[in-house]
Amino acid sequence: MVSGPSLDEHDYVREGATQTAVKILVVGHFAVGKTTFIGAISEIQPLTTEETMTRAAESVDDLKGVQGKTTTTVAMDFGRLTISDRVVLYLFGTPGQQRFVQMWEDMARGALGALVLVDPERLADSFAVIDLIEQYGLDYAIAVNHFDGSPLRDEMALREALDLLDDTPVVTCDARDERSSAEALITLVRHLQDRAH
């Protein structure tokens, strides 16, 4: 079920401003914090498609390391962040399960880049996500979602483990925190600007 109030065109563009819409994907493996991230950063009530996980999903989705997870995204999340009078980011969060991958192609169409959320305790789960983003030809930045109690990881070790190019940005964030999430998105936007020049 889709949650959130209905929106009209005035909810998407600041009055009197001439803005450029930039489509950004927020991607990552199952239960990495994409819905939380968009909820923390969006300046509008985010659109979510969270549904209660069923027993059938428990046999398909690996819940190891994600105790207490009771809902999952079944289509997408959507939020908006205005970063200047000229630029507004439209954030599209993808579902993380392999069975929803067919939706990614449509969501990737028209996107300028992707922020890849990574759980440092489940790095191997990120390989397929990064492969997909590279397959779609999107520039991306890595945002390591630092969970409570997890140790901070060395950036060079993370780069090596994820087999990243030298110019791929890596930042640490807390998907629950608005400021931390904004800094991660700003890192991605700067990377996209650098790649465009």
What is the number of H-type helices and E-type strands within the chain? Answer: 6, 8
Range of the domain at 183: 19-196
pLDDT tens by residue, 157-178: 999 999 999 999 999 999 999 9
Where would I find the H helices in 2-80?
A: 34-41, 55-58
* Residue 180 placed within a domain: yes
pLDDT band at 72 (very low <50, low <70, confident <90, very high): low
Number of domains in the chain: 1
Does any domain span residue 146?
Answer: yes
Flag whether 3 is in a domain.
no
Tell me the H-state helices in 46-177.
55-58, 104-108, 127-135, 155-162
Q: Is residue 145 part of a domain?
A: yes
Q: What is the pTM of this model?
A: 0.78
* Contact status, residue 149 vs residue 48, Cβ threshold 8 Å: no
Residue 83 to residues 31, 34, 86: CA-CA distances in angstroms?
A: 27, 20, 8
Examine residue 12 and state whether it is found in any structural domain, yes or no.
no
The pLDDT assigned to 176 comes to 95
Answer whether residue 148 is part of any domain.
Answer: yes
Average the pLDDT over 12-40 and give the result: 83
Q: Is the dihedral of CA 51, 53, 56, 60 positive or negative?
A: positive
Residue 191: how many other CB atoms lie within 10 Å: 18
CATH of the domain at 35: 3.40.50.300
Tens digits of residue pLDDT in 179-189: 999 999 999 99
Per-residue pLDDT tens digits for 73-90: 545 799 999 988 888 999
